[in-house]
Amino acid sequence: MQAAIKIGFCIAYDWYFLREALPQVYADADVILLALDRRRMSWSGKHFEFDEDGFRTLVKELDTEGKITLYEDDFFVQGHSPMQNEVRQRNLMAARLGPGGWHIQLDCDEYFINFAGFVRYLRRLNPKRFQRTNVCCDWITLFRQVDEGFLIVSHDHPRQIERIAIATLSPRYEYGRRNGDRNHFAPFGIVHQSWARSEAEIATKLSSWGHAHDFDANAFMSFWKSLTRDSATTVRNFHPIHPAVWSRLSWVAGNTMREVLQHLAQQPHQGYNAWQRALANARWINSFRSRLSKLRPK
């Protein structure tokens, strides 16, 4: 019997991105959980405006096979950091989805490229060997919409690409979606709309993000607003928390997210080649990385 595909989405003020995110995964999911704070509070403790009718109308429109469950709970806890509240929500989502199957956690602004292929990939993995393993995908970060296209985070080498833990048979979250388990790198990408939003949305994101207290949000906002397609060519090492993680910016055509996804799906995958991936997935290397991650300050 095939392992179930269980998907959990963290829902907040940007729920409307589900219009593009849900259709990318819906057909190949067995269960989808939408987790929303009961009091409409962000991880940083700020109340957010929420279009209740619009949200429910969209879910009803997209849930053609009755796969979606809405889970409302108190995910914000006074006195906890934004990251602690994020981790709390992710673990409660995993508990609600229950044991067994592949657990996949996504945010509303994350769009899978070739989710059907990713599911086939997961189901070829040996469950006995992949307990306590995170299956990771490349994160393709969109940074700003400019000049009939989007600025996209680019890298000088595949090893610099951000990779996010997405699927696991043994869900437990310690820092965002990270934990000390072994990481296995899959040849699939997820487009992260992230910073490619309106100025008002970026201001809301900066005040609500799980990393909101980790950097100078006002300075980063000014930098973001200053970018154009031309000026972006000079930008180097600009991640707000770990600068070298984002090497540079490039431009991709597309006036809508659907156009961007179609454009990127037609391009060759820019991550590890087969040899690099095999080396990265070697068990002794992952064991060493796992031990290192446990030593890093949270």
45 or 158, higher pLDDT: 45
Burial 259-277 (b: 16+ CB within 10 A, else e): ebbeebeeeebebbeeeee
The predicted model gives 269-288 an average pLDDT of: 75
CA gap 120, 99 in Å, rounded: 21
Number of Cβ within 10 Å of residue 185's Cβ equals: 22
CA gap 24, 112 in Å, rounded: 6
CA-wise closest residue to 12 among 225, 201, 260: 201
Domain ranges of the chain: 5-295
Question: What pLDDT, on the 0 to 100 scale, is given for residue 245?
Answer: 84
Cβ contacts of 246 within 8 Å, gap of 6 or more:
141, 153, 155, 237, 238, 239
Residues 156-205: pLDDT tens digits?
Answer: 887 888 899 999 999 999 999 999 999 999 999 999 998 899 888 888 77
The predicted model gives 268-283 an average pLDDT of: 80
Cβ contacts of 265 within 8 Å, gap of 6 or more:
113, 114
Residues 58-117: pLDDT tens digits?
Answer: 999 999 999 999 999 999 999 999 899 999 999 999 999 999 999 999 999 999 999 999
Q: What's the pTM?
A: 0.87
Q: Are 42 and 12 in contact (CB under 8 A)?
A: yes
Question: What pLDDT, on the 0 to 100 scale, is given for residue 215?
Answer: 79
Backbone dihedral angles phi then psi of residue 159, each to the nearest 5 degrees: -70, -15
Q: State the Cα torsion 144-176-59-99 to the nearest 10°.
A: 150
